Amino acid sequence: TAKKRLTNVHPFYLVVPAACECVTTAMTAIALTMIPASTACMLQSTLLVFAAIEQRIIFGKGYYRHHFVGICLIIAGVLEVGLIAAKDGSESQTGSVMFGMIAMIVAQIATTAKYMIEESVLLVHDVDDMLMVGLEGMWGLLIYLLALTPMQMLTCGEYYVSDTGTL
């Protein structure tokens, strides 16, 4: 029989990871409107680089040479894909492509922050996994309800107008 774990975590501790996930979702959606999906997938590999940096800073985790080689290869690949994507578009699209790539990288930083916060909460508190997922989902839903409801009232220029005249 499995022992039922109790939790001593306050539900508000999980607001920040839920907010990080909301930032990730929003920035990824914005980025995907500006860059090809293949470029977005390659930029998602920066998650490993940021996770390694944050693991080193927050938890003091050490790495071996082969870890550094892998991180350098990821950085080289991302730089190559970024340069190709920036040069591939026309002069008028270069700015939006660069913004899209920056938005995708910001999304990966937010995802890494979410992972680190979750890991630190799990290290300090005895939290049931399903309770943690449920609380994060509840906070994410509340954040989106509070953010998206006013956004439905925003009007756009003609270029971005849908059939209803909103975003």
- CB of 129 closer than 8 Å to CB of 14: no
Query: Do the Cβ atoms of 34 and 103 come closer than 8 Å?
Result: yes
> What pTM was computed for the model?
0.79
Q: What is the DSSP letter of 166?
A: B
Q: What is the dihedral of CA 127, 130, 135, 138, to 10 degrees?
A: 180
For each of the chain's 167 residues, which pLDDT tens digit applies?
Answer: 555 555 677 888 889 999 999 999 999 998 998 888 888 888 999 999 999 988 888 888 888 899 899 999 999 998 888 888 777 766 556 678 888 899 999 999 999 999 998 888 888 887 888 888 899 999 999 999 999 888 888 776 665 545 555 54
